[in-house]
Amino acid sequence: MSKNKIMPMESQSSTTLSILSSPEATKYVENHNKDLETESELVRQMDNVVQHYTEKEDEMISSGIGLLDGMKMKGAITYKEFKTDFSATRVLKGFYNFREGDIYIKTEYIVRGDHSYVAARAANYYYNCINPAFGFTEEISLDNNNYLEVPNKHSAIYCQEYKFPSPLSDREAIVNIVWKRISEKFIVVVFYPLTSHPKVENKDGDAVIRSSFHSIYKVTQVDSGFVDVEIGTHFNFGGKLPKVVVNGFIIPSGNRAVSHQQCYFMNSIHLEDLMKEDGKLLGEIFVNQIKTARKKGGWKKRAELGKVGVDEFLYISVAMRELLSRHPWIRAMLHEISLNQIKAAPTVHTALSDMKDYDAVNLAKGMSTIVLSNTEAPAAVDHWIAQNVALEEFEKEHQWMRSFFVEIAQYNLNTSNFGLRLRVFGGALLSTIDLITDVYMTVKFFNTEGQEGYGMTNAWLIGLTMIFQILIAYVQNGKKASSFFHDLFCILTGFKPALDAYRVGSGAEQEDHHRIAPMAEMTYCKVIELVFEAVPASIVQIYALLIAKEQKLDAIISVMVSAATIGFTSAMLSYDWDTSPSQRAFNPGFYGYIPDKALSRAVCFLSMMSLSFSHVLLQTLSCALLFATNPRWLVYYLAGDMALFLLYKVARRDFHYWLNISGVLRFVTSFMVRSAGKILVNFTLLIQTRSPVELGGFSFLVSALLSVAASFVSVQLYSNHYEGDDKIKDERLQVIISTLYGIWLISLVTFVAVMKREYLHTFYSFDTLSDFNRKLTLKLRDDQEDIKCLVLECHPDTFSGWGEELLKPWTLKNWSRWEEEKPSWFTDSWIEGVPNEYVPYEWRVKYKKTKGRVDEDAVVRRRRSSIKHVLGDQEH
């Protein structure tokens, strides 16, 4: 079967699968095949029959093309971006001229299929096959009458009535549809407004307001499997409309129509023709069916209506019908997944060929629970597939399966209130409690004679942490004041950890005004919290505890909470980075040490947390003992340890950080980042810092071992040289240090035992950042340009020794193609960071003339004057 041609659905009335023989499914098949008959005739006319157009029809076609070209002119209209249902929609923008009542909507999306069938679907205004998720609602109902007139095979005239909510009057529009093939891969369908027609001249008198509807579908075959659809639409409903009607009804109606088209063509693809890339949209359609079905009833009916949405998805999709016939248990699994209930996560050992409904239900039960143990949906699905044999076999047969379930997992992650609260609670509770206990101890220090200095130190540490987090929030949200003040409020009230955990857990993406992704923002804030508050505050409190005449329980609890917070944060950051599918895809040679099985993952995480917990107590105790014995010794130890590390980095020409900045700023930034990384390893044993981008494996290993050794040395120095009356007994101190070291050693052995051994070398590797980038570049395939381009975002020093051999030929060869295709990463800022000699000479000349890829100001000035005759004056 051709990947491009839509085939009739087969009747399933005789099947034993009740869902495919239900009245709803049977009716859908009938309507689908009825529409296909009409549209197949249109395709035949488009592809095989020469059409003859009148002068008026050619004017209609030209006006439609002019409308779209005018709307695409940069700077012509100040559009507002609107949220869309599916990722395949590239653009959905709108503009409303309140003075004249003109509404402009521009959209662009990709569908699978043949451009002739897509154009025929657009030209077939009165189609019958409507997805239950996109049935038109009460705000604007369509009165599906017959065409007023069909002048020829490429033209038809209809009258559309729009039922508006009271007290607004109803509207009607008379529209002439005309389609024309412009080239072999390019068809346009134009909806041209008419002022009158004999059959509706006096219809309903003045009760209905005449409207204008002008639109164009530009349908282009991109390649053998994909079609690009651009739509430009100009409405005028006979005057001004309230803004709430436009934003609440008109725009959603346009989005619904676009989504319906995407669903129709995706659901028309046969199982054998589904590609890996189709899984994402297929999953989005599945989620949309469930969401829409649940809106038809109250909370009590939520579970059953969700199953109705699953069934709708199974019978409207040709591929799912075929899959269901092969594997009937799929329905039971999707039903159980749609419930999104937290249950045990059993491992199903049944082979794919032997799967039954019982096995499918068990397979699905664990999905929500597994999602809870991950902050990213892809990582959860990766975990789920790895622990179930049938799913691994299923993925080998159907490459689209993984991305399909990722969309479902993300939906479950977002809508499971308990699960989301649990992740937010688990990720932020310790941080919040730590802040509370620190504030409590600070107040207590201020109220205790002789300990006011400790209180002042703690207060400065808390304030310094907030200042740096505010700076991060400003850098992240400086372009949008409302977002910055929202984050500022959360920082000042102590809820920033919960906010960051919520954003990452809910799958929030990087917005236009953001400089970094939510995951990176959370990491930076956590690192600031560790470096400037948790670690130094722990040292202060342990020191105060050591010299106190009486060790109070509240002080001990505060220290333990701080250590637990540091341990949890350190383990979670490393765990999230390593289990992220995007990171594993980016650098599989470094990320992937966390095992795939559920139990092994849990043991691995707990061992990482325990290792960091014991390590921070060993190191903070060591610092407190040295400070109590002789403050100079602590300074000598910390300064000497840092100096040796920095000298090692300088000697290996690996001191400077990867950021593409220069001068004094580069030196200061590199010094701060390298120092912070060293502090993190010394006090938290953050495993992520073993990356060559940060410390490197060898520096990580040496720092960890020296920190543990320092704890024993500090105990000995304290025992031999401390002369205060409040000295802790040697036996007691030996028990404490031995216990902590025992926990540290057991945790380390457990971690090494459960991790993937092939990644052990990353913990003692001598690779520098330059070595790291070179090996990464050598491993990348030609089609992984979106990853290889990241190397050129680094400072040129990081690839100066090998860039001429591996990167320069790549950029010179592909630059002209990138200018033509314009991949998402090929931006002005990226080009600016590429060394001049890596850019072809002719393009360097162009950029010098235009000061960038596009001379935007000149283009806008040229186009503004020429666009007014197409779009008319606007109110800005």
Q: Residue 153 pLDDT > 80, yes or no?
A: yes
Mean pLDDT over the full length of the chain: 82
Does 118 score more than 60 pLDDT?
A: yes
Model confidence at 848, in pLDDT bands (50, 70, 90)? low
State the pLDDT at residue 345.
61
Which residue from 526, 638, 630 is spatially nearest to 576, judged by alpha carbons?
526
Average pLDDT over residues 581-603: 81
Query: For residues 238 and 171, is the Cβ–Cβ distance under 8 A?
Result: yes
Q: Has residue 191 got a pLDDT over 50?
A: yes
Highest mean pLDDT among 99-113, 170-184, 285-299: 170-184
Distance separating alpha carbons of residues 149 and 159, to the nearest angstrom: 10
Per-residue confidence (pLDDT) for residue 593, from 0 to 100: 92
Residues in contact with 261: Cβ distance below 8 Å, sequence separation at least 6, in sequence order: 109, 111, 118, 121, 122, 229
Residue 613, Cβ density class (10 Å: 0-12 exposed, 13-18 middle, ≥19 buried): buried
pLDDT at residue 380 is higher than 50: yes
Name the least confident of 40-44, 316-320, 722-726, 817-821.
Answer: 722-726
Lowest mean pLDDT among 145-154, 270-279, 489-498, 850-859: 850-859
Please state the φ and ψ torsions of residue 108, each to the nearest 5 degrees.
Answer: -145, 135
pLDDT interval class at 849 (50, 70, 90)? low
Residue 772's closest CA among 802, 751, 741? 802
Average pLDDT over residues 758-787: 88
| pTM of the full structure | 0.61
CATH entry 3.30.530.20 includes domain 18-268? yes
Listed in sequence order, the residues at least 6 apart from 693 whose beta carbon sits closer than 8 Å to its beta carbon are: 658, 769, 772
Query: In whole angstroms, what is the distance from residue 331 CA to residue 323 CA?
Result: 10
**Which range (3-17, 42-56, 752-766) has the least confidence?**
3-17
Determine the average pLDDT of the residues in 288-308.
Answer: 83
Task: Kindly state the tokens that stand for 686.
Answer: 């953050």
Check whether the bond before 167 is cis (ω within 30° of 0). yes
Examine the pLDDT at 864 and tell me if it is beyond 80: no
Domain boundaries, the chain: 18-268, 273-412, 416-558, 580-767, 783-839
pLDDT, tens digit, for every residue of 609-641? 999 999 999 999 999 899 889 989 999 999 999
Q: Are strands 171-183 and 186-194 parallel, antiparallel or unpaired?
A: antiparallel
Q: What is the pLDDT of residue 348?
A: 84
Q: Is the pLDDT of residue 418 over 70?
A: no
Percent of the chain's residues with pLDDT above 90: 28
